[in-house]
Structure formats: structure tokens, C-alpha cells
Chain A
């Protein structure tokens, strides 16, 4: 008798628990909704006044400062260009180095070596981005200034895209290398043996069998690394500058989308004003850009996992 009574109580507790846990899980969907809705609602005020076309394709961004004629401009492309410039430099650093490290760890390294290198990479990945920003501004830029660099007759400025990009590349290396390495380690050993049995060298096995087989996973690591670079805030805010400028010259100062948001957040634009709402508009654009890349990256990872 006692048992059945407890059973009934148990099942009540059980279903309560179920719904509690389910609610926690559903919170994640609510969060995504929340992000989209809150960004949209706050930027609706912005898009009521500024046509979306002008926003997305305008090349002049000065929502605070008026120009000589007393006009403000709301074309976001300079911010986008600045973001992509820094992210591209970062990718140019992180992709080759990250992939090389991954190949080394997956195909060449002994266990002891792997056990030493992987923690180092984890340390690199765990350093807060303000620290990288500090490093870019106080070390990398002065060192670069010692080199006579000149592009289009411009010298390297104190705030520039190159320093930020280089240090951001360092920051992203662990992400590229660990994802690529996972992809390569998932390739079955039997394929490597087949290649060795045909007289291939270790490099040939890596280059012609493993990397092609792990390709979608490797590409995913590039995409996700690039997405991380685009969303990064403190590094670019500290080191790349606060000058929205549509340029491909890495020696110049630029302003990234994330840096602009920080600038406005620390500023004194009143709530609900047009200037204030620009941060939500830019944030919305940033969200969709990274979302697109992350979806693509995860899709590739999943497809790769299904093959093996």
C-alpha cells in the first residue's frame, strides 16, 4: 500500500520535473526569439526614418556628426568594410597557421607532443579579448611603426586595421586548428594505411587523402573562425580606431561595427533617439551576418560527421 501511494506522488513529481527541465531547454529558443525581437523592435524606430536601402548601401556613416551642410549620414558600409577588413587580415593569419598546426597535430605529432601543444592552444583561446586589444595597441602597433610601411602614400597610424587584424589572427588560431584537427582525426586510419601501402610519403597521405576527406570540416573551421573575427568587439575597439572609413588600406584607422556599438553605448545619445537606435540597427545586421556564417559552418560540420 505504501508503495502505490509513493508511486503516485512520484509520478506527480516526475511530470513536474519533466516540464521544469523542458522549460529550461525551451528557454534557448526563447532567447533567440528575444534577440531578434528586441533588436528589431528597437531598430524599427530607426528604419522608420532611414530607408533600409540607404542604410545597407550608403558609404557614408556619420550619425552623430553633421557634415558641412548640416546633414547626418546613415550608410553602414564603412562599418561593414572596417569589420571585414580586420577579419580578413585575421583570417589570412589564422587559416594557414591554424591548418598547419592541425595537420601537424593530426598526422605527425606523438602523444607527448600533442599533450604539450594542445594546452598552449587552449590558453591562447582563453585569454580575454581586452588583453589582445592591449597587446595590439601597446606592442604590435609600435613595432609595426618601426618598419617603413607605406600604402598609397599613407603611413601606419596609431589606430589601424593591420595591428588589430594580426592580433585577432593570433586569437583565432586555436579555433581553426582545433576544429580542423577534429575533422582530420575523424578520418579513419584505414584510409591512411591504404595510401601508405601504395608508397605514399607522410605529407602525401596528409595532403592527398586526409585533408580532402576532412575538407568540409576544415572549411567549417574557416567559416566559424571568420565569424568569430567579425563579432569580436574589444580588440577592434581598442586597436583599430573610431573612424568610420570605407577603405581597403590596412594601415588606416577604421571603425568596426562592434566598435561603433561600444562607442555609442558609452556615449550620451538619449534613449529612443535616432542616434541611439543606430546601435540596434547595426547590431541586427551583425547578428544576421554571423548567424548566416554560423549556420553554414555547423551545416558543414554535421554533414562531415555523417560521412564518418
Chain B
């Protein structure tokens, strides 16, 4: 078994001194987090701790909500994604997202996977790219005979894998997953977790989860967040998953992990 140290340990994403505001309300306080390339980083913590908000800062999805602003930096391969003049659409091409509730388009399976490729002017073999993405999402065998059928006709677990295939099709560097299995049954959940491990060989995965066993099983790095008295979310502790779960440094981390609160 590869130890964490033997994995490629470049830092692909560096979040420094990040504050995030909804209007006057501070939702995230002073986040500092380094994300390792080609590893699975889990964000855990109680509800309201800002995990999903942080995730949506990374691909600038919060830009779509009026009245939000950030202070601080997020460096993606050395460049600040919030620098003026940076187009969020560019970021989202390189940093993809899978949502909590599966949201395939009301189009065919093929058109779902091909969507991102088409709008970004893909010039290669579309059939091959679609097949490759569906294989990577462990869905190909189940749907290869009905690519033209509607994506909505699939089961919940299949729909989520379709969304993963869709995100993977444009070959992002980082894939953000916001509680990807929480709306699914236990068997599909395990399938998604296996998929995350597989995908981390090629992509960097950042996953928000409220399921601690999932974080312990599937991630290489874990970051624990919680909600402060001013109701802003802040990062308590981050480290390798093994360390966080067996020997956490902070008392609050230990309390959460052992189930004393949260």
C-alpha cells in the first residue's frame, strides 16, 4: 500500500488568509489550506461550518450569488484565481464540481457527458472522449447500449456517476465534490467512494463530507472545520487522514471525531 508520503506531494491549490462575506455577514474566517495534487482531501465538520461555502469559493461558484465577496487569495498552480481580470468560466474549466443532489441535464447520457466538451470547442473524437469519461466514472458498462436515452432515466447512483463522468470529460485538474453520496443509498455510496480513490490517481479531489467513516476510509488528507461564536466557519486543523483520526492535535477535532459534539 502506498503511503501518503510516497504519493506526489506537490501543492496544487494554496488558500491563504481567505475570508468570505455574504453582504456584511462573514461566512469564512481566515482559512489557510494547502491542497496536495493527486490526492483526496476531505473537508469534515458539523453543519454550518462553511465546508460547502469554502468549496464553492474554490471554483468561484459563489460569484453567482449577488452580494458575496472574498478577501485573501486562492493560488491555483501559483496564480491567484481571484485576481482581477480572471474569468470564472476559465477557472471552472480547470476546477470541476459534482453536486450533492445528482443534477444531470434533461438530455441524453451522451449529450450530458459531451456538454462541457462541446461548449469549450472540443476538436477531437467526441465518441471516444465520451466513452473514456464514462469508463472513468465506472458507468460505461451499464449504459453503453443506451447512450441516447435520457440521463434522467438512470437510478440515483447512476445519475451521480453520470455527473462525475460529465465533470471528468473536460479533464479538469481538480474535482470538487460536495457531499456526493449523501443523497444516495449505501451501496451507491460505497461505489462513489471507490470511484474517488480511483480518480485521485489522475485528478486532485476535494470532497466535503459529513460522514466521518467515509472521510477516514477514502481520503489522504483531512481538514476539520467548525463554526465559531460569530457563526463564521474556520479551519481548526488539517493533516494526513491517519493523523487526524488517530492522533488529532486539537481538542475540538478530537471531540468531533469521537462524537462528543457535532
Contacts and interface: CB of A to CB of B under 8 A. Distances in A.
A208 B119 contact: yes
A212 B106 CA distance: 8
Interface residues of A, number: 19
A36 B101 CA distance: 50
Contact of A196 (B64, B90, B104): B64
A307 interface: yes
Nearest to A187: B106
Mostly helix, strand, loop or mixed at chain A's interface?
Answer: helix
A110 to B, nearest CB: 7
Contact of B97 (A191, A197, A201): A197
B89 A193 contact: no
Given A110-B66, A193-B61, A208-B119, A198 B170 contact: yes
Interface string B87-131: 001101100110101011111000000011001100000000000
B29 interface: no
A126 to B, nearest CB: 31
B103 A194 contact: yes
B189 to A, nearest CB: 20
Contacts of A191: 103, 105-106
Contact of B89 (A188, A194, A200, A212): A200
Contacts of B166: 194, 198
Nearest to B120: A199
Interface string A283-296: 00000000000000
Interface residues of B, number: 25
Nearest to A207: B119
Interface string B134-168: 00000000000000000000000000000100110
Contacts of A196: 61, 64, 89, 92
B170 A197 contact: no
Contacts of A195: 105, 115
A213 interface: yes
A209 interface: yes
A108 to B, nearest CB: 12
Nearest to A209: B105
A199 B92 contact: yes
Contacts of A307: 106
A190 interface: yes
29 contacts: A110-B66, A188-B103, A190-B99, A190-B103, A194-B99, A194-B105, A194-B163, A194-B166, A195-B105, A195-B115, A196-B89, A196-B92, A197-B61, A197-B97, A197-B99, A198-B115, A199-B89, A199-B90, A199-B93, A199-B116, A199-B120, A199-B170, A200-B119, A204-B119, A208-B115, A208-B119, A209-B105, A212-B106, A213-B105
Interface of A: 110, 188, 190-191, 193-201, 204, 208-209, 212-213, 307
